A and B are shown apart, each in its own frame.
Chain A
């Protein structure tokens, strides 16, 4: 009898609980319903030099001067002249300094709950973005003709001129999404439109000052530190220098394990066809089946089928023509 009572109680409980859960569909749906995005406005903090603005939605297409204290809506485009600097404040979440010779636009700027979303388009020029992460969650991104940069951290210098891109991380992490791949730029690191490893950027700059950029490490030590996320000074640890894909907010590094395969050489420096790090390296034309030091194979190396070598020679993705819109890039998110 007692067993039957327990069994009956369980059956009734299983039947009552779902019914109770369904008793308040309105309350549940209301809880699940996300708040509507509230549009925000950016404020012009200061202006020095020649700066003009206009709204995309303005049919007249007239440009007006930018003055300190102006309030800018979404879809506002700003262009600056020589010797100009404009500082914008995005609510209490970020400051953007637009430098001279720049054209940029506010694609969207709104708040949903506590999350503030800001999307900027950079047609050409350079800007300095600083996001105040400690004031709340932010989703800040800058789109250029060749890449989209999104921030998890807080500060970077960004420059874009057509096909060319430069990103200097200052504080926090920046995700640079270009050509279907994502590179994470840490503080003190840089990258360009080819997502070049930060330590190779200085070599590309043509700096003839001879110096050891790796704190006296040998190539083997360098490789081991990278493989084991070593924490020594210049190399750092964590996700430094990792290339991967970003999908649904999840970053997946590409498989770069294994020692460098010297299919085409053992890294004699300055020898044509053999870069510093072996394989089809720095000054070589790409192609072949080798992998360079960073695990990049054919077509991904500087002179390869889809790469660009030091003298701007390359395959289908090189600067002269190539994919899509040539020097000016697709500019997908840059209207006007």
Chain B
């Protein structure tokens, strides 16, 4: 009986501690909220522009996620994009976003994970999404390359990840390194 109670207590503690990273309180902090991108840019031009960049700004990354979700980005400013994604629960309620800051691999993975509604593994189901584990999930699925969550994403990696996310949303399958879907 004591062993069962101890085990149960350990699980509760574990879940509680694991939930801490997922608990974000406070308001969303937005820097560069008025930053704008080229209006009416279609996804072909957007991907082409980003493919040759050394890093991808959070503003561009959110535009890409909105293109995956809705086919186009109708937001005029960075603040509008943040609010739109927050409303869709792609980004957490609290958080720190900067339009001109290079997006990290973990943050991009979080947004892609939420956008694609992956089921996730044990930790993700118990504790909710976090940058670290969302990245690991996408790496396991072959959608993002190996590396740390804090590393900035370069343009080509962003194009590859976004394209794979889009294919997954449409087909439910992740393409392999040759872009082929299983059964194609």
Q: Mark A residues whose CB is within 8 Å of B.
A: 50-52, 63, 79-84, 99-101, 103, 123-128, 156-159, 161-168, 190, 192, 205-206, 310-312, 327-328
Contact = CB atoms under 8 A, between A and B. Distances in A.
Contact of B51 (A52, A100, A124, A190): A124
A80 B52 contact: no
B142 to A, nearest CB: 6
Contacts of B139: 206
Nearest to B51: A124
A326 B156 CA distance: 12
A161 B154 CA distance: 11
Contact of A162 (B45, B46, B156): B156
B43 interface: yes
Interface of B: 42-48, 51-52, 67-68, 71, 139-140, 142, 145-147, 154, 156-157, 159-160, 162-163, 166-167, 170, 175-180, 184
B52 A328 contact: yes
Contacts of B48: 79, 103
B180 to A, nearest CB: 4
Given A83-B71, A124-B51, A166-B178, A100 B156 contact: no
B71 A126 contact: no
B176 A82 contact: no
A125 B180 CA distance: 11
A311 B148 CA distance: 11
Contacts of A100: 163, 166-167
Contacts of B163: 82, 100-101, 125
A166 B48 CA distance: 20
A288 to B, nearest CB: 24
Contact of B178 (A52, A79, A101, A158): A158
A234 B147 CA distance: 33
B97 to A, nearest CB: 23
Contacts, number: 117
Contact of A81 (B43, B142, B177, B184): B43
Nearest to A81: B43
A52 B47 CA distance: 12
Given A80-B44, A159-B180, A168-B178, 6 more contacts: A63-B45, A126-B178, A166-B176, A166-B178, A167-B178, A312-B146
* Main secondary structure on A side of the interface with B: strand
A51 B156 contact: no
Contacts of A205: 142, 176
Contact of A157 (B44, B157, B179): B179
Return the 7 tightest CB-CB contacts between A and B, nearest first: A126-B179, A166-B177, A81-B43, A101-B163, A166-B178, A81-B44, A162-B156
24 contacts: A63-B44, A63-B45, A79-B44, A81-B42, A81-B44, A81-B47, A82-B68, A82-B71, A82-B166, A83-B166, A84-B43, A100-B166, A101-B43, A101-B160, A126-B179, A128-B179, A156-B178, A157-B178, A162-B160, A166-B176, A190-B176, A205-B176, A206-B140, A328-B156
A127 B179 CA distance: 7
A166 B162 CA distance: 17
Give the interface centre of B146, B163, B175, B177 by most chain A CB atoms within 10 Å.
B177
Contacts of A51: 44
A166 B179 contact: yes
Contacts of A206: 139-140, 142
Given A101-B166, A312-B147, A81 B179 contact: no
Nearest to A158: B178
Contacts of B146: 310-312
Nearest to B48: A79
A327 B179 contact: no
Contacts of B45: 52, 63, 79, 81
